[in-house]
Structure 1
């Protein structure tokens, strides 16, 4: 799905002002409300926009310890282990990966003892061969997509939009 410069502007507004109304977004962008709604519907349908709920902090929910647990799985059991991981509430993300392991999980825990309990639970899952854990010390770059949106927007706008002599097109 191609994201054009207007889509990038819409996405930026959604990130920066998530509680604004569609009418206000349209006013800010200088487009018709129907145009904006059609764009939002397409961005959702195409999977660019994947949610609209609040972003929650595991630390504020009493789980300040963040760890990345690599899980090595017996061949042929990746789906089974993935399904089992989905049942562990402390696992907030899991990905199939290449490299040193088969799955990479992001685990939130109350403290180190709780993290150890979660790891022990993972080790006992059928199909899990071993785990390797890395504890995060400090977040250096929080989850973000705005720089990517801006990059896509610049690419979509092309060279005419760069610089001060850019021609404005109305549609």
Structure 2
């Protein structure tokens, strides 16, 4: 699904002002409320908008330790291990990957000892061959999509570096 310049402006407003009403978004964008609602519905239906806040901080919930755990899985067990990972509350994301390992998980913990307990739980899962853990020291770029939305909007509007004079 193509995102056009108006879609990009809508997405920017949603990211910058998430608690604003649809009526106010329409006013700020200079479009009819019905037009805006139809766009929002399409963006949700097409999977561009996948949810709405609140976004929670694991650190503020008492889990300030962040680690990335690579998991190597016995062939044929990827789905089973993936399902088992969903049962571990400290795993906040998990991805199938290429390269070294089969899965990459983002794990939070109360402290280093708790992290070790979580990793030991992962090692005991049927189908897990080995794990490799990398601890995050400091977040350098927080999860964001606004720069991407802006870039997509510029391309949709025809304002790309190639087209600039």
CA deviation after TM superposition for structure 1 residue 159, in Å: 3.8
Q: 3-state SS of the aligned residue for 2:95?
A: strand
Q: Secondary structure at the match of 1:47?
A: coil
Which segments of 5 or more consecutive residues in structure 2 lack a partner in the other structure? none
Aligned residue number for residue 167 of structure 1: none
Task: Supply the distance in 2 between the matched residues of 1:116 and 1:32 (Cα, whole angstroms).
Answer: 54
Q: What residue is the counterpart of 1:28 in the other structure?
A: 28
Q: What is the CA-CA distance between 1:53 and the residue it aligns to? A: 2.3
Number of residue pairs the alignment of both structures matches: 162
In the alignment, structure 1 residue 60 sits paired with structure 2 residue 63:
no
DSSP-derived class of the 2:153 partner: helix
Runs (4 or more) in structure 1 with deviation over 6 Å come to none
Q: TM-score, normalised to structure 2's length?
A: 0.96
Question: Which residue in the other structure is 1:100 paired with?
Answer: 100
Instruction: Give a deviation string over 1:88-118, Cα, whole Å, max 9, x none.
Output: 0000000000001000000000000000000
CA RMSD of aligned residues (A): 1.2
Q: Which residue of 2 aligns with 1:19?
A: 19
Task: Note the alpha carbon deviations across 1:14-73, whole angstroms, 9 max, x for none.
Answer: 000000000000000000000000000000000000001201000000000000000000
2-structure distance, mates of 1:53, 1:144: 13
